[in-house]
Structures are given as structure tokens and as C-alpha cells.
Chain A
Amino acid sequence: GAVVSQHPSWVICKSGTSVKIECRSLDFQATTMFWYRQFPKQSLMLMATSNEGSKATYEQGVEKDKFLINHASLTLSTLTVTSAHPEDSSFYICSARDGGGIYGYTFGSGTRLTVV
């Protein structure tokens, strides 16, 4: 089956620094990837959709300059949280969908970001 690898699984950073989270599709080509944010005890909130080779589409209220998404290849998407603040602390999860829809939506294991 399809596997999506997400790294790191957890990260602690200082306020003002930037953090990069990677999402890789290991055995299929992911033409579309999704980034979600999950607050404690809440459901997933879609932040943005990225298509390989084009700019990401951000959901309303998500700052595109703070959450930089790059999807330069069919197997890798990255989310960079720039100038992180404590309020950016959250659980971030990526999801990938292959172009043929064979595997549907496969989720990464998530990244716990803590900004101190």
C-alpha cells in the first residue's frame, strides 16, 4: 500500500526561528499533497493544497508568508514555518494523493511542533 513518510515527528524551536517539515511519498507519485493543522482535542484543519510544480493554494485565514509550502517533485512536499511563535505550536499532518487516485488519501505520521 501507499506510504507517506513525515519528518521530523517532533521538533522544539526558539521563537523567531524557522522550521521545515518534510512529507515524502515512498512508493507512489503524489501529484497533490495537503497540509493540515490540528489543535489539541480538535479535528484537522486544512491549511493548504500543493500541486507538484505549481504554487500552493492556501485556505482562508492561513498566512502564506508564514507557512511556506514547496512541492518541487512528485515525491516531496515541504512546509516551512517561518519566524515561529508560540502560537504556531501545534500538530501538523500532511496527506498525499496520487494522480490516479489508486491509493486515495494517505496521511503522514504527523509532526509535533513546540515553539518556546
Chain B
Amino acid sequence: AQSVTQLDSHVSVSEGTPVLLRCNYSSSYSPSLFWYVQHPNKGLQLLLKYTSAATLVKGINGFEAEFKKSETSFHLTKPSAHMSDAAEYFCVVIGGNNAGNMLTFGGGTRLMVKP
């Protein structure tokens, strides 16, 4: 079984300040982890993914995430928020076994960016 917990349903930051969106996971297998972003009434866009290579993963739009196995975390960060970053963010895990190669979504974190 696998699960994903996004610790904050809402995060509010000022433009130009750092962003931290937290994600913890549990998985019986070596997981693949993803962060997706969703703007209102849009589909999901892949920000970055971890698939057992480098633990620090760089994605698009200046986002990055670090896989920490000891903490079962995969937090998303960005040094400086832009207004255009305001959106819903989903942390997603794939367990890795063939029978359960399904995406499990976190509950989502809504990022608000204040001018």
C-alpha cells in the first residue's frame, strides 16, 4: 500500500520570497515521486520527478525537490515566488511494483502569492 500526505492544504507567500510545499509518502516499494501543478480549470502539468537517480531533482520554472528516504519526504521548493506560481500543487507517488503501478495523489496544496 502507498499513500501521500501533503501537510498544508494552503500556503501563502509574498512575491519574491521562498516557497516550501511539504509532502510525505509511504510506500512498500522504492517509489517514484512527482510534483504536478494545476492552474484553475486546467489539466496537470509535470513540474519534476524522482525515479531513483539524483536525490535533488530540478524541475521547470525554478522549482526543485529533494528526496529524503530517511524522512520519507519529497518537499517542493522555489527560491523566489512569482505571481504566476499561484496554483494547486499535487505530490504523487507510484509504488513501483508492476501490479500497483498506479498514481496515488496527495490532497493538494493551494499556493497563494501576494504582491
A112 to B40, CA, bound (A): 11
Name the one of A34, A105, A109 contacting B42, with C-beta atoms under 8 angstroms: A109
Instruction: Report chain B residues within 8 Å CB of A62.
Output: none
Instruction: Report chain B residues within 8 Å CB of A34.
Output: 102-103
Instruction: Report chain B residues within 8 Å CB of A91.
Output: 41
Check B43 against A6 for contact (C-beta < 8 Å): yes
Interface residues in A71-116 by Cβ distance below 8 A to B read 91, 93, 95, 104-110, 112
Instruction: Report chain A residues within 8 Å CB of B90.
Output: 43-44
Kindly state whether residue B44 has any CB partner on chain A within 8 Å.
yes
Name the one of B34, B43, B49, B102 contacting A109, with C-beta atoms under 8 angstroms: B43
Secondary structure class of chain B's binding surface, majority of residues: strand
A-B pairs, 5 with minimum CB distance: A109-B43, A107-B44, A110-B43, A107-B43, A43-B105
Kindly state whether residue A25 has any CB partner on chain B within 8 Å.
no
How many chain B residues sit at the interface, stated as a range, is 10 to 19
Q: With A34-B103, A105-B103 as given contacts, are A43 and B108 in contact (CB-CB < 8 Å)?
A: yes
Nearest-neighbor residue (CB-CB) of B6 within chain A = A43
Check A95 against B108 for contact (C-beta < 8 Å): no
Nearest-neighbor residue (CB-CB) of B92 within chain A = A105
A6 to B44, CA, bound (A): 12
Instruction: Report chain A residues within 8 Å CB of B41.
Output: 10, 91, 110, 112
Instruction: Report chain A residues within 8 Å CB of B36.
Output: 107
A110 to B55, CA, bound (A): 31
Q: With A43-B90, A104-B49, A107-B36 as given contacts, are A49 and B102 in contact (CB-CB < 8 Å)?
A: yes
